[in-house]
Amino acid sequence: MRYVIIALVLCAALSRAAFAAAAEPATDPQVDPVPCAAAAAAGDDDKVIAVCGALVDSEKTPAPDRIKALIARASAFARKDQIDRAISDYDTVLRLDPKLADIFNARGELWRKKGDRPKALADFGAAIKLDPNHPSARGNYKSLAQELERLGALMAVYGKPSFNCATVRRAVEKAICASPELANLDREINAANTKVVREATADSPRAGRELQRQQEDFIARRAAAFGRPDYDLQKAMRERLDHLLEVERY
């Protein structure tokens, strides 16, 4: 008898639930987060953009669901290499919740991919400020800071040869000073020669002196040949650099 009563109570409860469900209006598909989450879990970027976009665009979508939909859509845009659209979605996410370290880091990675290093560094810094132990943001910040340092060092010497252009007298050196490309080549040749001479000298001072003599002979030949119709200064310098790099490898 007890099981019959339980069954009757359960049936009554299910009947009331069914009646209530029938009485309520159907769920608006634009504010149902399930399709968006399912598309994101399946990795279907085109479907993510479509169904999560509906959540983003609906005024009825609660803020937490809109944030999740924006993040999912931004990730899909990023995978499709639509960087500007992904950044735009992350911008909106951070306006809705400016305390998401992961999103600052993700947006920073997109700025870096886009080539805007200052904005990328700022986003990585913001992520670290929110979460000092954020491993990805810390690694990104460090590597980008080192990259900017290297670029700064390169820019400081860009277009400058290994010698002082203010004191040159030879025509070939004046030509090198007038061309950033030739100036950079000259600086690379000097750096490569310095390295191979130093390494050779460590094993044999005589070998080091011989390599330095070869460099001096190249500079003398370059000065003597410059201006001749058949002399290609850039080609000669490129061949000298290639030779030094070959010596360095062995």
Q: What is the pTM of this model?
A: 0.56
With respect to residue 18, please indicate whether it lies within any of the assigned structural domains: no
What confidence category does residue 154 fall into, taking pLDDT thresholds of 50, 70 and 90? low
CA separation for the pair 2, 9 (Å, rounded): 11
pLDDT recorded at residue 176:
96
- Residue for token digits 């005589």? 206
With respect to residue 124, please indicate whether it lies within any of the assigned structural domains: yes
Angle CA 20–27–53, to nearest 5: 165
Q: Which domain holds residue 193?
A: 165-249
Query: Residue 116: pLDDT above 70?
Result: yes
DSSP output for 218-245:
HHHHHHHHTT-TT--HHHHHHHHHHHHH
Residue 141: CATH number of its domain:
1.25.40
CB atoms within 10 A of CB 222: 20
Domain match, 169 and 212 both? yes
Residue 85, Cβ density class (10 Å: 0-12 exposed, 13-18 middle, ≥19 buried):
middle
Domain end marker among 83, 98, 113: 98
CB contact at 8 A, 52 and 39: yes
CA separation for the pair 212, 189 (Å, rounded): 12
CA separation for the pair 49, 192 (Å, rounded): 52
Query: Residue 130: pLDDT above 90?
Result: yes
Nearest one of 95, 223, 117, 209 to 168, comparing CA atoms: 223
Q: What percent of the chain has pLDDT over 70?
A: 88
Domain end marker among 156, 176, 204: 156
Domain match, 151 and 181 both? no
Domain match, 93 and 127 both? no
CB contact at 8 A, 128 and 109: no
What angle separates helix 101-114 from helix 63-79, to the nearest 10 degrees? 30
Q: Which region among 7-11, 163-167, 241-245 has the lowest average model confidence (pLDDT)?
A: 7-11
- pLDDT tens profile 74-95: 999 999 999 999 999 999 999 9
What confidence category does residue 239 fall into, taking pLDDT thresholds of 50, 70 and 90? very high
